[in-house]
Amino acid sequence: MSKEDEKEKVQAENTTNDAAEKVAEEQKKEESDKTPQQEQNDAVQDLKQQLDSMNDRYLRLMAEFDNYKKRVNRDYERLVESANEKLMLDLVDVRENFDRAIRSGETGNDYTVLFDGIKLIYNKFESVLSKNGLEVFADIGDVFDPQIHDALMKTPHPTIPEDHISDIYEKGYRLKGNVIKHAKVIVSSGAPQPAAD
């Protein structure tokens, strides 16, 4: 490259640098020439942009949350359906056993065999309910608890102490620890008082 070419190149660079400096100086001058009203308008415009950006983020987040809720509800419904399906399959076995017992009772005359079959089916039914979290409560002699027992009446009993269960009208049931049906019981009022002469 010749010296003249180098000079021209340096002059072109200087001219470009000078032009850039002039543009920067003009921008600074324009910024310094802004009135307080223009500065305020610029600040308002910046705040509006920030608000629009935050609004957009908020709307996206709300849409994502709504989709999450729908997905959780769908999953919960599927879970309940599959749990019901499992229980129904267990109960179908018990139903099939009842069908066999009924057919056997219709053709045979030996009711002791039928009764034994019914007891076996009952035990199977109890095990299905127990396996699925059902617990039976209330026995004669238990302490009466108004939180889980409904007292139908209070009567004297020669051997069972006062405020204890002397008879059971209906058993109570818990499902996985939660009472779903209160026991209906008769409560002892203690030993009968001897009649006064």
In degrees, to the nearest 5, what angle opens at C-alpha 153 toward C-alphas 149 and 156?
110
Note the pLDDT of residue 10. 62
Please give the CATH architecture assigned to the domain spanning 134-191: Roll (2.30)
Residues in the chain predicted with pLDDT less than 50, given as ranges, are none
What is the per-residue pLDDT across 175-189, written as a single tens digit (0 to 9) for each?
988 999 999 999 998
Note the pLDDT of residue 72. 94
Residue linked to tokens 């008769």: 186
Distance from C-alpha of 59 to C-alpha of 114, rounded to nearest angstrom: 68
Paired tokens of 138? 């209330």
Edge-to-edge strand list for the sheet holding 134-137: 134-137, 172-175, 178-181
The one-character DSSP state at 158 is: S
Paired tokens of 32? 């310094």
From first CA to last CA, the distance across the chain in angstroms is 144
Query: If residue 183 lies in a helix (H) or strand (E), which one and from where to where?
Result: strand 183-188
Three-state DSSP at 57 gives helix
Note the pLDDT of residue 4. 67
Note the pLDDT of residue 114. 81
Note the pLDDT of residue 101. 84
Three-state DSSP at 145 gives coil
Burial bucket for residue 141 (CB in 10 Å: 0-12, 13-18, 19+): exposed
Domain boundaries, the chain: 59-132, 134-191
